[in-house]
Amino acid sequence: MRILILSSEFPPGPGGIGTHAYQLGKYLSSQSHSVMVLSPQDYAKQKEIDEFNAALTFEIIRLQSCAFKPFQIFQRLIVILKTLAQFKPELVIASGGKTSWIAAMLLKLRKTPWVLIGHGTEFGDHGLLNSWFTKISGNAADAVICVSEYTKEALHTFGIDKPPVFVIHNGADHTLYYPLPDNEIRSLRNEHGARDKFVLLTVGRVYNRKGQEVVIRALPLILKSHPEVVYWMVGIPQDQQKLTDIADKLRVRDHIRFWGKVSNQKMVGYYNACDLFVMTSRQLVNGNFEGFGIAVIEAALCGKAAVVSKNSGLAEAVKHDETGLIVPQNDPVNTAEAILRLIENRRELESLSSQARYNAIENQTWDKVGANYLNVFEKVISS
């Protein structure tokens, strides 16, 4: 098949939607399908982008970003129209942001089948007009694939109920994320000043929805009995100053560390160097929520259990009491209690971590997840 992926973001910059689009394109290409991606590539230097694109097994056309939005929209539409005419895709995949608007508008007359990937962020309250466009365009899709049951519920609540809906949980790349040898882990921990520490780790943009604040507010309760605990945050440090101020007020500033954006090659080291992965994302007042949490699976592939929050797709990335623990959303006290439980019971932590790794290898690699996507795509094409 000739498959075109329209994505709202793409590596080497960070972001779960971009990672998903990259892994999907990589898998489809490995199955001998002709893949092309149209996407912005922001939050990365040009040299980094060029090197990343040169190693791809499929073609990508970068959609340029600019401050003057009307010109950006016009420029991107021209590029997309030109690509549709030249590439002649048999299937289009719209993933993230307003890509569904473009697909619904441009593909109706061409009669090209297209699939909407529902990550979750699309179905928040973005204003009356934006919500109306998302609802209309989503109902025009030939099929929808949601990354979690929670996202599927939000999709239906949003009013998208005409196309068939499939749920395929996100996966992660086991060739990028895996357990490192013990001597390498010790070296990394020593290098980062965590030799005898218990390291908590969150990966993702440091801002309100990702919920790093919840962990910071849990630290005083944890540190009362375990002063050796430190909290690492990897990702674009959007709210670093705000969280630093909170940590100062709580007198836990010396126990937190912002590492900023790091490469995939370095990311595997942070996953391995931590003792416990934590992702306490929360739903915002505008409805924005965590659709699944790819980082939870990446950590699991490195042999790390996770503590995650309820009322989002995160709860489907972890099996409670098997591969991690699920806590109430936006609740520092229960979060602290869950973390303390695993600090004080290392045998349970080791068991959960081992099961997390096993479950990720058996069910959550892109070899398994990609096959599920391809099955849906073939059904759409044949119908």
Residue 265: pLDDT band with limits 50, 70, 90: confident
In angstroms, the CA 199 to CA 277 distance is 9
In angstroms, the CA 365 to CA 376 distance is 17
Q: What is the DSSP string of 299-319?
A: HHHTT--EEEESSSGGGGTS-
Class of domain 2-170+365-382: alpha beta
Equal fold, 2-170+365-382 vs 182-363 = yes
- Averaged pLDDT of the chain: 94
Topology (CATH) of 182-363: Rossmann fold (3.40.50)
Provide the β-strand partners of residue 275. Answer: none
Q: What is the pLDDT of residues 167-206, one digit of tens each?
A: 999 999 999 999 999 999 999 999 999 999 999 999 999 9
Q: What is the pLDDT of residues 45-68, one digit of tens each?
A: 999 999 999 999 999 999 988 888
Provide the β-strand partners of residue 38. Answer: 6, 61
Sequence ranges of the domains in the chain? 2-170+365-382, 182-363
Rg (CA), the chain: 21
Q: Tokens 């090209």 identify what position?
A: 112
Q: What is the pLDDT of residues 84-112, one digit of tens each?
A: 999 999 999 999 988 999 999 998 777 89
Exposed/middle/buried for residue 171 (C-beta within 10 Å: 0-12, 13-18, 19+): buried
Q: pTM of the full predicted structure?
A: 0.93
- Start-to-end CA distance of the chain, whole Å, equals 15
